[in-house]
Amino acid sequence: MMTLSRREVLCGGLATGAVLASGGLSAAGCGNQVVPAPFVDVTTLPGDPAALDLDPASMSFGQLAVRLAALPDLEPIGGAVTLRLPKLTPGTLPFALPPSILFVHRGAPGDPQEYIATDATCPHAGCPLGYAPEDRLIECPCHGSRFRATTDPGGCVGQVVHLPAPSALRAYGVDASGDPLLINLSVDVCAAAGAPTVVGGQITLALADVPELAMVGGSKVFPSVNGFPDPIVLVRQDAMTVDALDAKCTHLGCTVAFNPTRMDLECPCHGSTYDLTGQVTHPPAPLPLRKLPVSFDGTTIIVTVG
């Protein structure tokens, strides 16, 4: 008689592969067998194997230097550790320091993604994450969220590939060309790639750079915006109108998307819907989305977020 593991029963034995094959999200309610990566406090390692550069004049200001010799759990491919970072006085660094990062020996030596570093806690309910080498995914043992661990075509490290996680993990750049390795904690490398930037309280986009908006009924979600805390969604409502809204669902924070058939905004997590003015048309969302002023002259889109 065939026996099924808890994961196979909960996930139908197919969830991970099916999600990856489709490239889409799944909300099946399965847990993962992954365990959180072992915790290592970077301030207690012997022999200065890890150090956070706090010298503003240094070229590696804000970067974490890590000597692999002190982290035996990282030695095998597929190994992972959770590096607990020091608590700093606010303002010490010009960016928010995460409390810990997940550091994974993901690939073979010489692979440009031999090592990856991401946030270490799940954005759903804060469980510590682990790495599942058999799935090549970062996984949450609590409620089944999974996150990309490779920069596949069309995807970045840290992106959600399995709900209920409402948002991606920040992914930090790793320079593995020397010893120690350097982890740049100041930039979310995935969000930085292609993310618009707020300048003077506004985001300026050339229509030619956002082909999704070329046609009426098109839409574009920016999961990250440099200088704005939430994702935004843009919708080409008619020839001379582009709508922009804060895309963070007011229920539990998932990112909403435009449904061109219903001409509304829908949340993939618990079914809330909003009209294009941001008003809730279906609960459980308790509050409207914030509508952002837009000026559009047919070629340039200017969204005011300030």
Q: By CB under 6 A, name the binding residues for ligand FES.
A: 122, 124-125, 127, 140, 142-145, 164-165, 249, 251-254, 267, 269-272, 284-285
Which 3-state string (H, E, C) describes 172-221?
EEEECCCCCEEEEEEEEHHHHCCCCECECCEEEEEHHHCHHHCCCCCEEE
Q: Tell me how far apart the alpha carbons of residues 281 and 275 are, in angstroms, rounded to a whole number.
A: 6
Helix (H, G, I), strand (E, B) or coil at 73: helix
Name the minimum Å distance from CB 147 to ligand FES: 10
* CB of 139 vs ligand FES, minimal distance in Å: 9
Let me know if 71 is exposed, middle or buried by CB neighbors in 10 A (0-12, 13-18, 19+): buried
Q: What angle do CA 290, 229, 170 make, to 5 degrees?
A: 140
Q: Measured from the CB of residue 288, what is the shortest distance to ligand FES in angstroms?
A: 13
**HEC sequence for 133-147:** CCCCEEECCCCCCEE
Closer to ligand FES by CB, 175 or 275: give it.
Answer: 275
Q: Which is nearer to ligand FES, 115 or 147 (CB)?
A: 147
Q: Least Å distance between CB 169 and ligand FES?
A: 11
Q: Which is nearer to ligand FES, 106 or 124 (CB)?
A: 124
Q: How far is the CB of 56 from ligand FES (least distance, A)?
A: 36
How far apart (Å, rounded) are the C-alpha atoms in residues 296 and 302?
A: 6
Name which of 136 and 143 has its Cβ closer to ligand FES. 143
Which of residues 249 and 301 has its CB atom nearest to ligand FES in the complex?
Answer: 249
CB nearer ligand FES, residue 219 or residue 250: 250
Nearer to ligand FES, 79 or 128 (CB): 128
Structure tokens at 156: 């970045």
Least distance in angstroms from the C-beta of 43 to ligand FES:
26
Tokens of 193: 């790639």
Structure tokens at 279: 């008003």
Shortest Cβ 28–ligand FES spacing (Å): 12
DSSP letter for 69, please. G
